[in-house]
């Protein structure tokens, strides 16, 4: 079993170093919004380089033993705490780079730095102890200052994990609001992988945290394989992100703050009413964006987006799909067309998406609504 752990460590070290080098040196297409991607890519490269530190120390010191696992190993704890911070910053920057600021970096790093300094002082004056069982731990915690500090490192790792989760959720929410202000369906953007992989990393981090206090002899190899696989898949998605950025950068531009006068607001309101009444029903065009809408009514896309947010208390996604649902309701009440055809006619890419909006709008599915309200000729 020791050989399996050693092989997993070697694979982890090699893979993470290669991924880190690729992330650093791969060419980034020049674009004003690529600065956030470049920043995120550097954070991810740093995370990749730091990921195998604990494995490297164990491997090169010969401290690889499947049957004896040390509780709260100091190198592993520091690596765990730093990984949480760097990895979260990397993923969060793809959504909102403003949250990755000096203030937030200090919030999560300074306590860890203080604990590391305290540990070194305790190590110098009192030494340290290796703990391999819960019985030994509860005895040693009363007598060994270094073990107390290691325990505080573990607690701070969990606290910083909670802080990072809150930051990520905030960044994700603001990013989704920005996308909803521009696109009619953000699920078609295929940006969900950022959230999915962050959630997967949380599960892995939770399991690793548990392994620090619940001794699992063979978990090292499994967690190392999991970390290697996770970093590999995420890095591949990172390298493909510039292609997605080309699609979403108009939405990022639209999110820039503007000041709207009452005259402009009234003009936009009038033009939107006329656009809604257009016999061609342009709102049923699948994939329409607020930028295309602004072009059609000859207004600035930022102004149109701000008008919907401020005056209508909604975003473009909700506004355009509400118009589509109203048209779908008219067809359901007066037409016997198949449901999938009604979805296509009203601008939804599929029936499932129409059903979701229909339930939000009426509390009923399209088929349920038709049963109740269909007016037979």
Report the pLDDT value the prediction gives residue 31, as an integer from 0 to 100: 60
| 354: Cα separation from own chain's centroid | 26
Going by C-alpha positions, the residue among 324, 313, 316, 330 that lies closest to residue 281 is 324
Task: Output the six-digit token pair for 336.
Answer: 């016997």
Percent of the chain with pLDDT over 90: 44
Taking CA atoms, 324 is separated from 93, 179, 286, 295, 313, in Å, by 34, 19, 10, 20, 18
Superfamily name and number for 262-373? Homeodomain-like (1.10.10.60)
Report the pLDDT value the prediction gives residue 73, as an integer from 0 to 100: 81
Average pLDDT over residues 17-37: 79
Work out the mean pLDDT of the chain and round it to a whole number: 86
Where is average pLDDT lowest: 48-52, 117-121, 253-257, 267-271?
Answer: 253-257
Domains 2-254 and 262-373 share a fold: no
CA distance linking residue 234 with residue 368, whole number of Å: 42
**214 Ramachandran zone, left/alpha/beta (phi>0; psi -120 to 50):** beta
Give, in degrees to the nearest 5, the angle at Cα 327 between 188 and 280. Answer: 85
Report the pLDDT value the prediction gives residue 343, as an integer from 0 to 100: 93
Q: Where are the domains of the chain?
A: 2-254, 262-373
Q: Which residue has the higher pLDDT, 26 or 354?
A: 354
pLDDT in tens, 134-152: 788 888 888 899 999 999 9
Going by C-alpha positions, the residue among 241, 326, 249 that lies closest to residue 283 is 326
CA distance linking residue 36 with residue 291, whole number of Å: 22
Average pLDDT over residues 199-210: 85
| The model's pTM | 0.84
Q: Is the pLDDT of residue 163 over 90?
A: yes
Give, in degrees to the nearest 5, the angle at Cα 46 between 43 and 47. Answer: 85
Residue with tokens 């703050």: 257
Query: Phi then psi for 289, rounded to 5 degrees?
Result: -120, 165
DSSP 8-state symbol, 188: G
Confidence of residue 218 (pLDDT cuts 50, 70, 90): low
Q: Is the pLDDT of residue 241 over 80?
A: yes
CA distance linking residue 345 with residue 322, whole number of Å: 14
Taking CA atoms, 30 is separated from 232, 238, 249, in Å, by 25, 16, 13
Q: Is the pLDDT of residue 172 over 70?
A: yes
CA distance linking residue 23 with residue 9, whole number of Å: 21
Q: Is the pLDDT of residue 1 over 60?
A: no
Confidence of residue 79 (pLDDT cuts 50, 70, 90): confident
Confidence of residue 341 (pLDDT cuts 50, 70, 90): very high
Core vs surface per residue 157-189: b (16+ CB within 10 A) or e: beebbebbbebbeebbeebbebbbbbbbbbeee
Confidence of residue 30 (pLDDT cuts 50, 70, 90): low
Q: Is the pLDDT of residue 65 over 60?
A: no
Class of domain 2-254: mainly alpha
Average pLDDT over residues 363-368: 91
Q: Which residue has the higher pLDDT, 154 or 217?
A: 154
Average pLDDT over residues 119-126: 93
Q: Is the pLDDT of residue 64 over 60?
A: no
Report the pLDDT value the prediction gives residue 301, as an integer from 0 to 100: 92
Average pLDDT over residues 35-52: 88
3-state secondary structure of 224: helix
Average pLDDT over residues 226-246: 85
Q: Is the pLDDT of residue 66 over 60?
A: no
Average pLDDT over residues 269-274: 94
């Amino acid at each position: 079993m020791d050989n399996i752990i050693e092989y997993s460590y070697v694979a982890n070290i090699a893979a993470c170093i290669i991924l880190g080098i690729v992330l650093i040196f791969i060419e980034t297409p020049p674009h004003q919004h690529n600065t956030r991607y470049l920043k995120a890519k550097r954070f991810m490269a740093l995370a990749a380089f730091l990921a195998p530190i604990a494995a490297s120390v164990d491997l090169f010191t010969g401290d690889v033993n499947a049957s004896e696992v040390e509780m709260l190993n100091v190198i592993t704890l520091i690596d765990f705490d730093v990984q949480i911070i760097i990895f979260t910053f990397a993923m969060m920057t793809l959504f909102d780079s403003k949250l990755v600021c000096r203030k937030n970096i200090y919030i999560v790093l300074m306590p860890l730095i203080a604990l590391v300094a305290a540990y070194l002082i305790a190590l110098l004056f009192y030494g340290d102890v290796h703990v391999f069982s819960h019985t030994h731990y509860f005895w040693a915690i009363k007598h060994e200052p270094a073990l107390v500090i290691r325990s505080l490192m573990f607690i701070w790792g969990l606290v910083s994990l909670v802080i990072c989760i809150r930051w990520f959720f905030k960044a994700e929410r603001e990013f989704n609001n920005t996308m909803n202000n521009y696109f009619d369906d953000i699920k078609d953007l295929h940006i969900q992988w950022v959230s999915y992989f962050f959630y997967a990393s949380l599960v892995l981090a939770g399991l690793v945290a548990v392994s620090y206090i619940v001794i699992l002899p063979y978990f090292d190899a499994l967690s190392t394989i999991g970390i290697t696989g996770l970093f590999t898949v995420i890095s591949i998605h990172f390298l493909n992100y510039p292609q997605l950025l080309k699609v979403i950068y108009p939405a990022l531009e639209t999110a820039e703050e503007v000041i709207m006068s009452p005259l402009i607001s009234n003009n936009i309101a009038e033009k939107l009413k006329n656009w809604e009444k257009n016999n061609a029903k342009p709102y049923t065009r699948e994939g329409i964006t607020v930028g295309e809408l602004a072009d059609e009514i000859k207004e600035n896309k930022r102004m149109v987006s701000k008008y919907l947010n401020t005056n209508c208390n909604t975003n473009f996604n909700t506004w355009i799909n509400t118009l589509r649902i109203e048209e779908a309701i008219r067809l359901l009440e007066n037409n016997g067309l198949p449901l999938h055809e009604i979805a296509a006619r009203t601008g939804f890419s599929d029936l499932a998406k129409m059903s979701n909006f229909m339930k939000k709008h009426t509390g009923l599915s399209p088929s349920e609504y038709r049963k109740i309200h269909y007016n037979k000729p």
